[in-house]
Chain A
């Protein structure tokens, strides 16, 4: 049981480049989330998927897109990276929305 896995672990981009962060869970959870964590600030929700086939914006969705590929996988795409998107990105899942979150190990992204 791997829980929540994320790839890559680290990434450096130049301004304007695009990339996709991958996330998968093997717990048969219905809900999946993408958060970013910045120093001195709490985790902030970017997008979430309450169930397979649905996605919704969170607190800070600008500059991001998501895809719920199937029940296991939820990807986050940066179409044109900006330095303000330098952050640590966490994927999380829960059995249903509102239940405790299980987090992945994170992706540390630097945009130059």
Chain B
């Protein structure tokens, strides 16, 4: 069964304290791995897509990396506005199916 897990479930950081979020997957064929950000009461917002092991993508304080079994979302010197739930999703067959993880709830304290 295709499965995506994320850790930790919740993370509290002080402003400026860098850390990483993990997304592990067991799927029958990875087509792509997607990271989304979700603010409370809103829909997820697309951040990155990674397609092959070794690939990296960056956007402001966020950097996503991919290995054969997991992906990391590194947050460098976070600010309070980075507080959100971060979701990862794996595309398992070309076409319709994304398997989402449960998310990591990040809080950045000033």
Contact = CB atoms under 8 A, between A and B. Distances in A.
A40 B102 CA distance: 6
A38 to B, nearest CB: 10
A41 B103 CA distance: 8
A42 B46 CA distance: 15
Contacts of A58: 96-97
Interface of A: 4, 31, 33, 40-45, 48, 50, 56, 58-59, 90, 92, 97-98, 100-106
23 contacts: A4-B43, A40-B102, A42-B4, A42-B87, A42-B89, A43-B100, A44-B100, A45-B96, A45-B97, A56-B96, A58-B96, A58-B97, A90-B43, A97-B95, A97-B96, A98-B31, A98-B94, A100-B49, A101-B44, A103-B45, A105-B41, A105-B42, A106-B43
Interface SS of A by simple majority: loop
B91 interface: yes
Interface of B: 4, 31-32, 34, 36, 41-46, 49, 87, 89, 91, 94-103
A45 B100 CA distance: 9
A56 B95 CA distance: 11
